[in-house]
Amino acid sequence: MTSMRDRFTAVTTAALDADERVAVVLADIGADRFAAAAARHPRRVVNVGIREQLLVSVAGGMALEGMRPVVHTYAPFLVERAFEQIKLDLVHQGAGGAVLVSVGASYDDADAGRTHHAPGDVALLGTLPGVTIQVPGHADEAEMLLRRALGATGTHYVRLSEELNTVAHDGALTIVRPGAEASPLVIVVGPGLDDALEATRNLAVRVAYVTTVRPFPRAELAATGTDDVVLIEPFLAGTSSAEISAALAARPHRLLALGIAEPELRRYGTAAEHRRAHGLDAAGIRRAILAHQESKRAM
Amino acid sequence: MTTDFEPMPGDAKHEPSAESTADVLAVLYERVLRVDPSDPASEQRDRFYLSKGHGPHAYYRELSRRGFIDPAVLETFGAFASPLGHHPDRVRLAGVEISSGSLGHGLPLAVGAALALRARDNRHSRVIVLVGDAELDEGSNQEAIALAGRLGLGRLTAVVIDNASSTHGWPGGIASRFALEGWTTATIDGRDRTAIEGAFADDLRDVPHVIVARVEAMS
């Protein structure tokens, strides 16, 4: 399958060719991918060197001037290292913002260790008003969400990952495995859908999928009629728990939030090993859901 | 120098900061900046970024003189509903190009704006950013100084108000830090309005320009 990052390169390069407002700002990471585009658009593909604060601020200055900058690097360097630049130079300025596109996700480069892992990126960006956060799980979703972000205003964060689902969806909250309305609703965010579907085989649950976590589709969730949610996110466990609570505030409800509970894992290896260690492989998800159902019966 | 801050309620901590910029701001708004309150978003305007957003009295006063702020509004300074905060907010006030307050953001933003102007071949407008000598302590400025020099952003001018307030100082002088990165430099008396105006002369350059405006040290 095409990687999200390859698709990002293609979509963004095409956008540079088609729209003079589009610029790409890089901090060495990814510069090789945009070498051809830079040769055609030397004034709209800017590599600032290994300077992440400047990376985001340059995009902020371009946004003040009406451009649509795309900013790309590893998630921890983009979101965590330059967080105040995102807060002030993109969001607080109240201009057009930027399209922030990260790679690395929570543990894509597992053997690179904690410095290259950003399980907290979505939680952190979630503190900023008006930032749209997209978590694609397939290259087709990444393309659709990038096109949407490029055509919009405001700051959009598109969190690319090397973990891919087999089937693409349209980004909105979608029931991918129907069931009785009274059954628990498993909500999968981005990558991890295949594991979740396997984990819940033969269980009396519905499975929904979503890529857009901010703004969270609160009304769509409420409309499912659920009062029993299992949330599976590929970043810090509970990142969207407050959104679920707000969506279901009018009815008593249960929530089991799965994700990364131990960000300081201090292990290398492979992404699959990390997924298992965090209990996000099919067996781990099934175990957690069965234990949760058992605890409900015991109450 | 002028110190007519009376219309705005006092802000003891920041008043020396506001006064340090008074002459540079007066020269900018009286003689240098091509800005028009009737068309504050004109493509052809000069962009002035007040990075050192502390002590904005002098800034608001110049904006008022230039017609961006009703003089009566100056009296509301700092009030809940006032557009005039202790740090400026561009969303609340036409003529304010950036919202500032946290140090080390204006110069990096100005690099981005200068790149945007270059991308659409606007060679008319200048981007002028005002920073403080202590503000240069913020490492983000060093990132911006290096890149602006290397990319030859000739429409960018930085003015550093040097009142020797940087805790650990700048051995060799502030201008030398910029010169090393390929900027042209001018070090002047920040109270000498003729010298200030001369330093802002719009020479056509292919490298950025820094003006170090020395004023009396903060006591």
CATH architecture assignment, domain A4-159: 3-Layer(aba) Sandwich (3.40)
Residue B159 domain-assigned (yes or no) = yes
Residue B82 domain-assigned (yes or no) = yes
Q: What is the pLDDT of residues A132-179, one digit of tens each?
A: 999 999 999 999 999 999 999 999 999 999 999 999 999 899 999 999
Residue A128: predicted pLDDT: 98
Strands in A185-189's sheet, in edge-to-edge order, are: A174-177, A206-210, A185-189, A228-236, A254-260
Q: Do domains A4-159 and A174-298 have the same CATH topology?
A: yes
Show residues of chain B in contact with A57, CB under 8 Å: 105, 108-109, 111-112, 140, 144
Q: Residue A45 above 50 pLDDT?
A: yes
User: How many Cβ atoms sit within 10 Å of the Cβ of residue B122?
Assistant: 14
Q: Can you say how many angstroms the Cα of residue B42 is from the centroid of all Cα atoms in its chain?
A: 19
Total domain count, chain B: 1
Residue B6 domain-assigned (yes or no) = no
Phi-psi region of A257 (alpha: psi -120 to 50; beta: other; left: phi over 0): beta
The nearest alpha carbon in chain A to B150 belongs to A48
Among B161, B191, B146, B197, residue whose Cα is nearest residue B3: B191
Task: Pick the residue of B115, B121, B131, B155 with the most A CBs within 10 A to test the interface with A by mutation.
Answer: B115
DSSP letter string, A123-188: HHHTTSTT-EEE--SSHHHHHHHHHHHHHS-S-EEEE--S---SS---SS-EEEE---TTS-EEEE
Provide the residue range defining the domain that includes B144: 15-214
ipTM: 0.96
Strand B127-132 to strand B156-162: parallel, antiparallel, or no bridges (unpaired)?
Answer: parallel
Residue B8 domain-assigned (yes or no) = no
Q: What is the pLDDT of residues A102-127, one digit of tens each?
A: 999 999 999 999 999 999 999 999 99
User: How many Cβ atoms sit within 10 Å of the Cβ of residue A182?
Assistant: 11
Q: Residues A85-114: what's their mean pLDDT?
A: 98
Show residues of chain B in contact with A25, CB under 8 Å: 112
pLDDT band (50, 70, 90) for residue A182? confident
Q: What is the pLDDT of residues B18-58, one digit of tens each?
A: 689 999 999 999 999 999 999 999 999 999 999 997 889 99
Residue B219 domain-assigned (yes or no) = no
User: How many Cβ atoms sit within 10 Å of the Cβ of residue B203?
Assistant: 8
User: How many Cβ atoms sit within 10 Å of the Cβ of residue B184?
Assistant: 18
CATH code for the domain in which residue B112 is found: 3.40.50.970
Residue B61 domain-assigned (yes or no) = yes
- What tens-digit pLDDT sequence spans chain B (219 residues)? 344 444 555 444 455 566 899 999 999 999 999 999 999 999 999 999 999 978 899 999 999 999 999 999 999 999 999 999 999 999 999 999 999 999 999 999 999 999 999 999 999 999 999 999 999 999 999 999 999 999 999 999 999 999 999 999 999 999 999 999 999 999 999 999 999 999 999 778 899 999 999 999 876
Show residues of chain A in contact with B115, CB under 8 Å: 23, 43, 46, 58, 61-62
Rg (CA), chain B: 16
Q: What are phi and psi of A9, to 5 degrees?
A: -60, -45
CA distance A50 to chain B (A): 9
Among A274, A276, A189, residue whose Cα is nearest residue A240: A189
**Helix locations, B28-131, DSSP H:** 57-65, 106-119
Residue B9 domain-assigned (yes or no) = no
Domain range summary for chain A, segments of one domain joined by +: 4-159, 174-298
Q: Which fold has domain A174-298?
A: Rossmann fold (3.40.50)
The nearest alpha carbon in chain A to B120 belongs to A20
The nearest alpha carbon in chain A to B147 belongs to A48
